[in-house]
Structure formats: structure tokens, C-alpha cells
Structure 1
Amino acid sequence: MNYFELHIGDYAEATQHLSILEDGVYTRLLRKYYASEKPLPAEIEKVQRLIVAKSKDEKAAVEAVLSEFFVLRDDGWHQDRCDDEIARYRAGEPERIAKKANEEARTERHRRERADLFSKLTAAGQHAAWNIGIRELRSLVDALPATGTATPVTAPRTFEVAGAVTAPATPVTATQTPDTNPHFPLPTTQNKEDTPHTPQGGRRARKASDDSTECVPGFDAFYAAYPRKVGRRAAVKAWTKLAPDEALQATILGALAAQKPHLDRRESGRYIPHPATWLNAGQWDDEIPGGKPAPVNAAGQVWWQIAGFGHVAEAQNDRCHIGNYHEFRDGKRIAQGVLA
């Protein structure tokens, strides 16, 4: 047996009087019992050796647990619940074997049918992707032009089996082109959950549509500034839904520049949210630790306008952001002596 059920409430009620050592001995004895599917040895010394009970207290705990929860019979120490579970498991073994055999037979029929369909396509001068679904593959073969020498499909059709279970179709080398799609970077300990992989273990190429940001003004600047490069498609969707005008874009980028030092999980221990989460929650309005709210003067000018810049990008190019905009005037950094 590879596993057994443990009803926590019943177990706790029956063992709450045991010490921590005795409880550990009991669970170890149960695991040995189920793993071997037979009673524990009749000799207590063998039982102690079986679960590596070496100290005087450990050996005494083995004796106490055996005498309370097990019954000594001719063939060893029995536990009624264990015997019942093992008997039930063995009674279901023929059904499990038959089920496994049926699955293997169905998978083999599926393999043979796919191989036969691929052969028919190749003979007709057509080709299909190696991971095409069985229904699509059947449709392609059914659509082949009929010939006088064609032979009917004799292989029985099977249920579709998940996963690739056949070799790929013969490649058409004349139509192959170099793969120029960018691929995801190697996973890191920081964002390894964000790097997708194919079932075969290879890194999946990012689709061109994932990076498409046409008609989404301002998003590229936001995404480039955001410290965590994950969930681009969701971020594009959130940005499009928000539809920020130029003033709001400037406010978002300025707030992001001020918050960025506090978003570093390695320094502050805070979790960096996905960019879509940050946008959907409107976190550009969050208070900056130790900072002040985004400034807007009486004329309605935002921080980069107050600093004398014509556009937020000009301010960023001169390393001006919402956290230090007061150090700039007329688009230039004020000398330290003047600030003092």
C-alpha cells in the first residue's frame, strides 16, 4: 500500500493520552504495517529494530504502544483497523489491474489510429502538426480527395487521449524557417513561478500577440518602469480598461518612480504585486512610506510640470521624479547650495 486514510478526530481521541515519543512510535508502527501489508514481528526486539528504537525510552515506548493498540497472535502483532484496510485494498486489486490494462489498450489503439492517419496525410502530400487533436486529424483525412486505389480506413476510431502519444508527422523541410520568436528568460529564484514551461520541460515561446501594445498609448513606458515584468497581457488589459489620459499617465509614472524603492522585496520584504494588480487597485494613489502625496498646484500642474518640464519623459530623462521634483526648477536641477 502506498497510502492509508487517517481520520484525525478518531486518532486524536484514541491517542491523546500518549506522550510525544509514544505517538511518534505509534505512527511509525502503522506506516511499517501498511507498507509491508502484514503483521509486525512477534518478537518485540525485532519490532524495535524495525523502527530504529535505540534508547531505553524509545524501546519502552514500543512495548507500551504494542500492548495497548496491537494484539499478539501466532504470526505476529495484529491491529484490527490495519487488517481491515489491507483486506479492502487487496479486494480492489483485480479491478485496478483491469482498469490499468484497459487504459493501456485504449492508449495503444489511439497511437495506432494517429499513426495510420498521419501516414494517409503524408501519402497524399499533406502534413499536420505533430500535436494536432485527433478530431482535427480525422477531419483532414476525411477531406482528402478520393482515388481509385484508396483503401478505406479500417482502424477503429478511439477516444481522444490527453497528451502527445505519437511521433510527430514527417517534417516538410522545404517550408521550414528559422525561429526568430523571443523566448522567456531562464527562471530565477525570485520569479520562477512566472516562467511558463511546456509539458516536455522546454521553455515556451511567447506569442507575438502577447507583446502587441498597438493603440495602447503610454503602456510601454509604464511596463518598462515597473519593477516586476510578469503578466504583460493582463497588464495591457488593465491599462486599456483604465484608458489614462496624458495627465493621469504622468501621475502614474511619477507615483511609480517614487514607490519603486519601496517595492523592492529584497530590501523591505514587501511583495511586489503584478503590474495588472497594481493598476486595477489604483495603487498610484497609495501613500509613500516617509513621503508626501503627489503634488498638484493651484494651476492644476502635476509634479513634472511644476519642475519646469514639458513632458514626463523629459523629467525622467533628467532623473526627475515625484520624490525629488522639488529639486528642479525650469527643467534643471537646482544647485545644492541654493536648496540649502
Structure 2
Amino acid sequence: MNHYPHHIGDFNTATRHLTRLERGLFRDMLDMYFDKEQPLEGADISLLARRLLCHTPEEVAALQFLLGEFFERLDDGRYQNLDCERVIALYRAQQDVQQQVKSNENERQVRSRARRSAIFAALQSLGVHPEGMTKMADLLALCRQHGVTVTETGAHVTPKEGAAGGSAGSGADGVTPAVTARHGDVTGNQNQNQNQNQIPPNPPAGGDGVGLAIASALGVFFPVQRRQRIAEVAELVGDLIQCGTVTGEELLAAAEQQKDKHAEHDGKYCPGMLRWLREKRWLDSAGQPQAEASKGSWRESVAGADQVGRDLGLLGYQEGVDNCAGWRTLGDYVRVIEREMAKREQGVN
């Protein structure tokens, strides 16, 4: 361990009865414990004293007192501290989780690159040549525009209904074969994609872990302090996808599009992931025309409500939340706007 938590109040309370020599020596003992991540080797007290720079009789006596006061002697002669053991166990568990998250992230990026390569190949077969840095949301828009069907494992050109006979590059049945993603080291367009800063991880197809996988992937586009309550986020993602409200791909594409906004002011005004989902913030597309807010759909997104509210002279949604202006959710903000609209209509009439 390179560092460990030191709670000043707890330490002062536990060591208030110690001399200054004993307090300083106790900190050295804790440093050694956490550095080795194991109980102190005390079978040979003189050797332990030497390692802790205890040379005078007073220092050795302080060491022996501290071993009896804060440590338990094990059968093998080592001295164990239960508080230290709890901290080390938590640290190791967190390390395991981080390793697993990193491994999953690497796998998702491999799948995503392969899937992007399949999309590029399908579009290029139709004479469409997007730039290598094109975002996933824009690629999906091109696919819809040109009749390319995108699946969880690849992409293929959707055959037109009533097409007679085969066409160039088609099979005997007139259907263009599906271009599927491969998991090999090199894919057709991997070189033009490998320099992207962040590629939206590809959600797996089906399974009970879909919500958790997509929730973990969404976290890439949120500040660290906003990646809270991941279990609830995963459950809500699963419910939204299952009921058809939104797809995993749409969530990831929207989050990627909003990542720069989320990072502004060190994430101070970025909503938590759970709130982002509950308030349907994925609808706040960066490329959404401002005119959309004036339509009846303004109630469905923060961007739309924010514009209408500002037009009425109200604080913006997030600004109002931060300053306790009377709303905490999008629904509250919408009701405030509607009341303000009603007041103005009555004044006009």
C-alpha cells in the first residue's frame, strides 16, 4: 500500500494517553504494517526494534508497551492489529474490483472497435465514407439514412423490398451478406479508429448483466464523483431498456455527446448517473435544435424546460437546484414554469 487513511480525531482519541515518543513510534509501526500489508514480525523483538530505529532502553520499552496495548500476538510470533487488517482487506477488495472493471472495459473497447469497423465497412460498401473520428451517434444516423441495420455484433445493408435479381456485390438471392464484427487483433478500419480518445463501450446482447454492463459503460462519460449508487443505476437501465423507453446504444451515444458538458467546472453541475436517467437527460442532445424547446415536448427534457424557463425570466434548471430555488427534480421545474405561464396569461387577460 502506498497510502492509508489516517483519521486525526480517531487517532488522537486512541492515543491521548501515550507520550510523544510512543505516539511517534506508533505511527512508524502503522507505516510498517501497511507497507508490508501483514502483521509485524515480532518473533525477534530486538530485530523488530532495530527495524523501527528503537535503540535506547526507553525506546525499546515504548515498543513493548505499544505491542501489548494495540496488537495481538499470533501463534507464529507476529503482532496483528484488527483495525489495520480491516483497512488492508478493504484495499485488496477495491483493487480486485478495479482490476475487473479495467478488464471489462478493455473487452468492451475491443468489441466496440470491431463493431465500428463493421459499420464503416457496411457504409463504404454503399459509397459512404465517414471520417475515422466520426462519433457513434453520427454513425448510427448515417446507418438509418442509408438503410444499414446495426446489431449488437455487427452491421449489414438492409435489402430493399421488391428488389429484382441480384446486384453488384450481392449473393445469388440479392441480399448483401452481413458484415460481422471480428474479435481479431486487426480489423478492416481499426487503424482509422484507434486514435479516438474514448469509444462508447458496446453493450452485450441479452443476459441478466446487461443493465450492469451498460451502467458501468456510462460511467466513462461522467465525473468520478457522479458515479454513485451503481446498483440502482444498473437496475433502472435494465427497466428502461426492457420497457422500450430507450436502448443501450442510445444511452451510450447520448452520454458520449454530453461528456464535455459533464466535465465542466470539475463536474460541479453534472447530475448523478441515477438522476440523469430518472430525468431522461439522454434527450438533452448536444445537436438538438433549439427550436425543439418551443414545442410541446419541452417538458420531456431538461434542455427544453431550461430554455422555456429562462425565456420566462426564471433561473436555469441546474442553477435553481444548486441555489435551492424551489425545485429539485425536472417535474418540479416544469410545474414552476407552468405556474409562471398561467400567471402571465391571467395578467394578459
- TM-score, normalization by structure 2: 0.37
Larger Cα-atom Rg? 1
